[in-house]
Structure 1
Amino acid sequence: MAFLKTEDYQVQVRQWVTNILTDGGTTLMERAEMAAQEEMESYLANKFDVATIFDPAQPEADRNALVVMYMVDIAVYHLHANITPNDVPEVRQVRYDNAIAWLRKVNKGELSPNLPLPPVEEGEEDEGSVEFQGGSNESVTHRY
């Protein structure tokens, strides 16, 4: 079962365009989605739980809207590049570039999307937590 659903494409791409890009079949669409997911996971895996993010069984309400939107942008870009690599529509190129820019910012920590963090194994410390130790220096008095 795939992470993206047919309805996810309808927000950005007309059905007849999707039919042209996929030649009416599902194989090209599935391959483009897999490539888009792998591309997104390569940016997100070091900070987030990608298995949960891209779990196809999760409820619609739990899927991150930005992840869905950018995954559609990346998949549609790859579909266009498959047909006419030197003539990808400008809007598709811009949306793809925006998706990659967002992923890079998330990877660098410049943005913090509401995505699940990786599970902490028992016995491991959470890398995001910091222990603080309080105290002060010894008191010093100067008598002359």
Structure 2
Amino acid sequence: MQFITTDDYSTLVRNEIKNILLENYTDAKLSAAEQMAITQVKNYLTGRYDTQKIFEASGAERNAHIVMLVIDCTLYHLYTSVIPDKMPEIRSQRYQDALDWLKMVAAGDAVADLPKIIGNDGEDISGIKITSKYQSNNQRW
């Protein structure tokens, strides 16, 4: 089952998606843009949140904010691949806002209402950092 549905687009972008679809649109392009966006979001959330659970959810079980971020990233990728000259400023701003939030979550500066990674013993293991009492050495010659 796909994470993003056609109804998700109509909720967030009104006629904007139609403008994209009219010029050089194929289902393969939309699917590729969605996969790029999902992978992009996963890369930022991995290590802190259970991305498998997040993206396996369907319908009302999905996190609405993640759906919005994926759509914003998808539309940005579609515009850049199909008609970059006609990209509205709001698309660039929403994409940048999505990246900024994802970077904050990845750095631990923001907390998201998402399923955390749970270990075999049922304990939350997200956000574990491995450190050493020794200073790192630069071994370049």
TM (norm. structure 1) is 0.77
Select 2:18's aligned residue among 9, 16, 19: 16
Q: Secondary structure at the match of 1:12?
A: helix
Q: Deviations over 1:60-112 (max 9, x none)?
A: 22111110001000000000000234553211100100000010111112211
Which residues in structure 2 correspond to 1:58-69 (within 5 Å)?
58-69=57-68
Which residues in structure 2 correspond to 1:35-74 (within 5 Å)?
35-55=36-56, 58-74=57-73
Q: CA deviation at 1:21?
A: 5.6
Q: Judging changes above 3 Å, is the alpha-carbon distance between structure 1 residues 21 and 104 closer, same or farther for their aligned structure 2 residues?
A: farther
Q: Judging changes above 3 Å, is the alpha-carbon distance between structure 1 residues 22 and 10 closer, same or farther for their aligned structure 2 residues?
A: farther
Q: Distance in 2 between matches of 1:75 and 1:2?
A: 14
Q: Secondary structure at the match of 2:119?
A: coil
Matched AA of 1:111: A
Percent identity between matched residues is 31
**Aligned pair 1:7/2:7, yes or no?**
yes
Runs (5+) with no aligned partner, structure 1: 129-144
Matched AA of 1:19: L
Q: Distance in 1 between matches of 2:96 and 2:79?
A: 14
TM (norm. structure 2) is 0.78
Q: Residue 118 of structure 2 contacts residue 125 of structure 2 at CA under 8 Å; is this kept in 1?
A: no
Q: Distance in 2 between matches of 1:107 and 1:21?
A: 35
In our comparison, the structure showing a higher alpha carbon Rg is 1
Q: Which residue of 2 aligns with 1:33?
A: 34
Matched AA of 1:95: R
Count of aligned residue pairs for this structure pair:
124
Which one has a larger percent helix, Structure 1 or Structure 2?
2
Q: Distance in 2 between matches of 1:49 and 1:91?
A: 30
Q: CA deviation at 1:35?
A: 0.1
Matched AA of 2:40: E
Q: Secondary structure at the match of 1:34?
A: helix
